[in-house]
């Protein structure tokens, strides 16, 4: 018995990567505040890079599904904000990558980053994680509707 199953749109798959990686980056950057070992900064950087790549992929694949679902009332109501949050997710993901890369590059000699740099990293990573969570919530509402 052969089962044919195709996924017509990649967006529902692609969106899981920025959610997971940007949230993991945020957690790593918060741990870095408490434990100043540069390992946590490097982990946050890797997670931010992967999350930003995933956010770009999710944004690009979202464009295809938008036109296929056009006309549904809940889509029409939320899609513009969802798209804006996708752009913000990419932007804040890239800001966190740039911030982490610069402060880690500057600290390469002594393997230490001051508390100000770590706070900045936590804020940038936290903003990216918060924005992707909000955008994902709106995506869930567009897909599944309002609970209740």
Mapping DSSP onto H, E and C, the string for the chain reads CCCCCCCCCCHHHHCHHHHHHHHHHHHHHHHHHHCCCHHHHHHHHHHHHHHHHHHHHHHHHHHHHHHHCCCCHHHHHHHHHHHHHHHHHHHHHHHHHHHHHHHHHHCCCCCCCCHHHHHHHHHHHHHHHHHHHHHHHHHHHHHHCCCC
d(CA 87, CA 93): 10
Q: Which range has the worst mean pLDDT, 64-68, 129-133, 136-140? A: 64-68
> pLDDT tens digit string along 48-93?
999 999 999 999 988 877 776 667 788 888 999 999 999 999 999 9
**Whether pTM exceeds 0.75:** yes
- More confident of the two residues 77 and 2: 77
Select, from the ranges 9-23, 119-133, 134-148, the one with the highest average predicted confidence (pLDDT). Answer: 119-133
Q: Are 124 and 52 in contact (CB under 8 A)?
A: no
Quote the pLDDT of residue 132: 97
């Amino acid at each position: 018995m052969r089962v044919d199953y195709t996924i017509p749109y990649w967006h529902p798959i692609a969106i899981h990567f920025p959610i997971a990686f940007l949230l993991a980056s945020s957690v790593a950057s918060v741990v870095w505040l408490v434990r100043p070992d540069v390992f946590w900064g490097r982990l946050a950087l890797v997670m931010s890079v992967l999350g930003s790549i995933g956010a770009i992929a999710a944004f690009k694949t979202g464009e295809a599904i938008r036109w296929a679902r056009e006309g549904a009332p809940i889509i029409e109501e939320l899609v513009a904000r969802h798209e804006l949050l996708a752009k913000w997710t990419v932007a804040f993901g890239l800001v966190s990558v740039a911030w982490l890369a610069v402060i880690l590059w500057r600290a390469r000699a002594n393997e230490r980053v001051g508390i100000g740099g770590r706070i900045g990293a936590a804020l940038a990573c936290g903003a990216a994680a918060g924005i992707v969570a909000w955008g994902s919530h709106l995506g869930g509402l567009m897909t599944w509707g309002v609970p209740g």
